[in-house]
Each structure stands twice: as C-alpha cells, then as structure tokens.
A and B are shown apart, each in its own frame.
Chain A
C-alpha cells in the first residue's frame, strides 16, 4: 500500500481578528513614540537654523539654510554668566567629576555587597536596612547638613567635595545592586576559597570581582546616567571652578539679557544630553536589565 502524501501546510492560517489587534497595537506604539520624539525633532531642526529663520515661528519646518554656527557657538563661545567660553569647560568639568565618582562608587558598592552577602558581619541586616532607608530619603534633605560638614572639613566647593557627595548618594543603590547579584552566587564558592586559604580581599579580587562583569556594566550605566544628569549637587558642592555641564547649560539657557538664541540653546541642550543618550543607545539591553534587577529582587 502506498503511503498517502501529507497535505502540505505552508504556514499557520491567518486569524484576521488577531491581525487587526496587532495593527492596533503597533499603531498605538507608533503614535506614542512620535509623541515622545517630537521635542527631540524640534530641538534638532531648530539648532540647525539661523535666528532669522527661527523668528518666522515655523518650529516644525526643516531648516531652509542648514548651518552649524549654533553648535559651534554653544561649544566654544556661548556665555555662561560673565565668561563666554561655551560648554566645553563644563564638559571637561563633568568628565572630571564623572570618572572618579563612577569608579569609586561602584568599587565601594561591590565591596559592600560582597561583605554583606558572603561574610556574616555582625549586624549586617541592620546595616543593610539603614542603607536601604538611605536610598528612599530624598537627597535634598541632606544638602544643608552636608554643606556644613564640608565647610568644617574644608572640602566645600572642591572637586573632592562633589566626588565624595556622588559616592555617598550612589552607595545605597550600588550596594543593593551588588548584594542582590552576589546573593545569587553559590556560597560554596566562597567556602572553597576559604579552605584554599584566601582572605577577605583575595577572595574578592581573585574570585568575586572577575565574576562581576555583567552587574558592573549595569552599575556603570546607572551611575554615568545619574551623575552626568545631576544638576543640584553640582550646583551646590562643585564650586565655581568645577561647575558641571548641566549647571553651565542652565546658565546659557537662562541668560535674560537681549534676544534668546534658541538655536544655541537647543544645540547646547543636545550636546549636554549626548553622553547619557549614547550610553543608553549603546547599551539598551543592559540598561533595562539594571532597572529590572534593582526592582524585582529584594
């Protein structure tokens, strides 16, 4: 007897109700995305226009005469208060604040998380509860006491002062992040290392740290974004010499004399947000994971 040929089924039959549902979802998502992208579009087109063109008031139109004068001005010669040196000084300051703050806060968070999850420190739970509490208190509350303490110790208005501030405020979240990650590692690993004769730092450096790459990337993303975007702490603690880019941007945009240079303002704003934007675009997957690992695990 011949075997009957199987009826050929090329693909799953379409369910039209489902298809229309899909179309609806994508249409909605598209509209929402456009809504959020619109300000960015306006900023970009405005920054490439001349002031004459802006005065016409057609904010959605593409620039008739494409110019990067505004960008150059924002970077090199826009006035922040009395000095007219543009944003590059602020960019430099922000980098100077960012790098040590990110490195130190992540290292401290990693050590804290390691100590809390592997070494049964006496009162570890109380310590951890205090740290957690710290991450829930609005940091504006701490500003005045911190200013007093810094003034007493002489680091007020210095680079060290602003770095220390970022490290302090970053510690609760960093500790939480690393503790949650480390508590997922098998405790036997730690026990085996102790039998092998490794101490606190040896275990951390040789075994735990090399395994921390995924969470360290998440931490870098979170800290870079938070510290770069900070305005208030920079304004209060950095001092005149070290004002970060965000503060200088504010000074450019809020200058009240004469005509508002919208194109320069827009260019300056985009320039300032370039770093977190780049971090986000280059690491979207990790970024989401960071948010999830902070929120879901407790």
Chain B
C-alpha cells in the first residue's frame, strides 16, 4: 500500500506544457478519479505517475520516497489501458504471468498468483485462449488481472471502460469498486465519464488545461462546484447557467436577469457580496421542483419535454428565461401548458462573472 504525493509537477511535450505546477496528495488506499474533458492532461498526469512520461519539473513521491526518476517496473504499480494492450501473440495465462516470468519468480508461485487473479476476475476458464478470441469485457478483465498478479501497491486506470458498451461498462464499474474494497490498494482512475467518477471515487480531481479545478468528494464536487467549469462539466442533464446581477430588493438580496427575479437571501455566500454585482447563476434541473401550491411558486410555459424513462426533462420559460427542469412522470407536465415550480436556492450555485469562481 502506498500514498502518492505530487509536488509542483510540470509535464511538457516539446514546448507545450500539459500539466502545470500541480500539487496533489493521494492517501493510502484512496480511490482518486481524475476527471476532465479530453486534452485536459489527465492521461498525461497518470502516465507521469506511472513513469512512462518524463516530468519536466517537480517531484513524485510514493510513501514519501522520491520516485521521480524510478523505472516504471520498480514503482510497484499496475496499469490498465483503454485499449487493453494485451500481448496478442500470448495466451491469457502468459499475458498474466509475463511480468512475473521476467522477474524470474518461482514457477509454483506464478501459478498460484495467476490462479488467484483469474478466480477473482472470473476468467479462469479463459486462461488458454488468445486475446483475439475474447470479448471486450473479458479482455479488460485480463488487463486488470495483469495488474493484479504484480501485487501492485498502486493501480493506475487509463479510461479502462471507455471502449465497452453501456451495459458492460456498468458491470465492470461495479467490479472495480468491489476490487478496491477487497484489495484496499491505492487506485488512480482517469476518465471523462462523470458517472464513473461519481460512482467510484473517494475523491474527484476535476481537471482542465493541466490544472486541478476542484479536488473534493463526489458529493461536494457535484453540489458545490468550485467554479463554472466544474458546475457545467458534471451533471446530466446539464446545469442551467444564467448571467445576471444581484440587486437589493427591500431588505433582502435578489438575483435579476431581465424580468426574472429570484430571492437569494437564503443562499450561503462564501464571501461578502454587494448589490449590483454581476454573477452567473448555476441551477441544476433537479433543483427546480414542481410546486405544490406554495407561495414562492413561479409559473412558466412548457415549450418542450424530453422523457428520460424515470423522469422527464422539461424546458420551460419563466419570465422570459428558458430553464430545463426535472419533473416526475405523474406531474402532468406537457408541452404548451403552464407549470408551476419552486427553486431551491440553497442548492443553487453563484459564480463570479469574470473569474468563474464560486461565490
């Protein structure tokens, strides 16, 4: 088991700096997800942790030991790739045992370890097959198994489920979570899929342009996004974003955008805000609730509904402002009808217009 510390890490390809001055501490046994859009540097960062990409500045520490220039094989890591990267000319058994055979480990021990990993991943019946005779899900199991037999202290996953179909993805996601519970190893997992991030992680590091935007638990990242980017990157259906200003409305503070008004006096601002400040309101569809005859209800006209199975995503216009909101199947929300909602201000987010950071 191992903790991982990155100290003011820089990674560049030629003149392009991919990761900038990044500090990150990953606790022993933690499941950390690096989440971000493609090109944000998350895979490069993982590759640097694995020792496959040279860093151009800073240090990498495993268990307080400097491994910045240690060979990948000596770092005690196992890595799983999106493209599986199984050795195509070797059987599953030889794929699993390749690393151990190189290390010159006793044959009996190799056999025991391969059997243990194969049983754990339910691939024991596939040991004699070549990778080309396996399905995508089976291939990824073998790839995970290859990391398992190495007794890795740290597991690195580089978008391992992105090549699989939706059903298999959900299945294997659960399995990886179980695996983490069983092994209690440190796991670092790169993905652009927010569902994977939210379901698997102890903590999520949301990245953009080589910089970590927010590092927190899945719930906090989702409920209290640190900035506009994090707010809009997470959540499906996506967060509504409205530009407007704060205005003093008698003794309380309101958010105003055109004719639209929202009382925000119950919102927990993290800093002192004054009337007239330009802000962006971030409002998740599930925080606009069907009104049950309450006084604070706002009436809007439904323009479009998108049934999503368990619920319905409705697009309605409230005082000239188009917002998406979730309604239940039995709430009677239909296109071209009026519909009343209440907005849960405490769960909304306000961001500074210029910097995009949370207020």
B 131-151 to A, binary, CB cutoff 8 A, 1 in contact else 0: 000000000000100100010
B89 adjacent to A196 (CB under 8 Å): no
| Interface check A186, CB cutoff 8 A | yes
| Interface check A183, CB cutoff 8 A | no
B73 adjacent to A192 (CB under 8 Å): no
B73 adjacent to A206 (CB under 8 Å): no
Name the B residues within 8 Å of A210 (CB-CB): 89
- Contact A197/B85 with A191-B52, A191-B79, A192-B146 known, Cβ cut-off 8 Å: no
B83 adjacent to A195 (CB under 8 Å): no
| Interface check B99, CB cutoff 8 A | yes
B 43-76 to A, binary, CB cutoff 8 A, 1 in contact else 0: 0000100101000000000000000000011000
Number of A-B contacts (CB under 8 A): 60
Chain B: minimal CB distance from A257 (Å): 59
| Interface check A22, CB cutoff 8 A | no
Q: Please report whether the interface of chain A is mostly helix, strand, loop or mixed according to DSSP.
A: helix
Name the B residues within 8 Å of A189 (CB-CB): 85, 87-88
Complex: how many Å from CA A195 to CA B47? 11
A202 adjacent to B102 (CB under 8 Å): yes
Name the A residues within 8 Å of B73 (CB-CB): 194-198
CB contact list, A191-216 vs B, under 8 A: 191-198, 202, 206-207, 210-211
Closest to B54 in A: A120
| Interface check B77, CB cutoff 8 A | yes
A206 adjacent to B98 (CB under 8 Å): yes
B88 adjacent to A191 (CB under 8 Å): no
B 103-116 to A, binary, CB cutoff 8 A, 1 in contact else 0: 10000000000000
Name the B residues within 8 Å of A195 (CB-CB): 50, 52, 72-73, 77-79, 99, 150
Name the A residues within 8 Å of B150 (CB-CB): 195-196
Name the B residues within 8 Å of A188 (CB-CB): 81-85
Indicate the size class of the contact surface on chain A. Answer: 10 to 19
Indicate the size class of the contact surface on chain B. Answer: 20 to 34
Name the B residues within 8 Å of A191 (CB-CB): 47, 50, 52, 72, 79, 81, 85
- Contact A197/B87 with A188-B81, A191-B79, A192-B79 known, Cβ cut-off 8 Å: no
- Contact A196/B98 with A207-B89, A210-B89 known, Cβ cut-off 8 Å: yes
- Contact A192/B81 with A197-B102, A198-B102, A202-B102 known, Cβ cut-off 8 Å: yes
Chain B: minimal CB distance from A68 (Å): 47
B102 adjacent to A196 (CB under 8 Å): yes
Name the A residues within 8 Å of B50 (CB-CB): 191, 195
Name the A residues within 8 Å of B52 (CB-CB): 191, 194-195
Selected contact of B99 from candidates A186, A196, A207, A211, CB within 8 Å:
A196
Chain A: minimal CB distance from B50 (Å): 7
Name the B residues within 8 Å of A193 (CB-CB): 87, 98
B83 adjacent to A186 (CB under 8 Å): yes
Name the B residues within 8 Å of A206 (CB-CB): 87, 98
Name the B residues within 8 Å of A192 (CB-CB): 79, 81, 85-87, 143, 146
B interface residues, Cβ below 8 angstroms from A: 47, 50, 52, 72-73, 77-79, 81-89, 98-99, 102-103, 143, 146, 150
7 interchain residue pairs of minimum CB distance: A196-B99, A197-B73, A188-B85, A210-B89, A192-B85, A188-B81, A197-B102
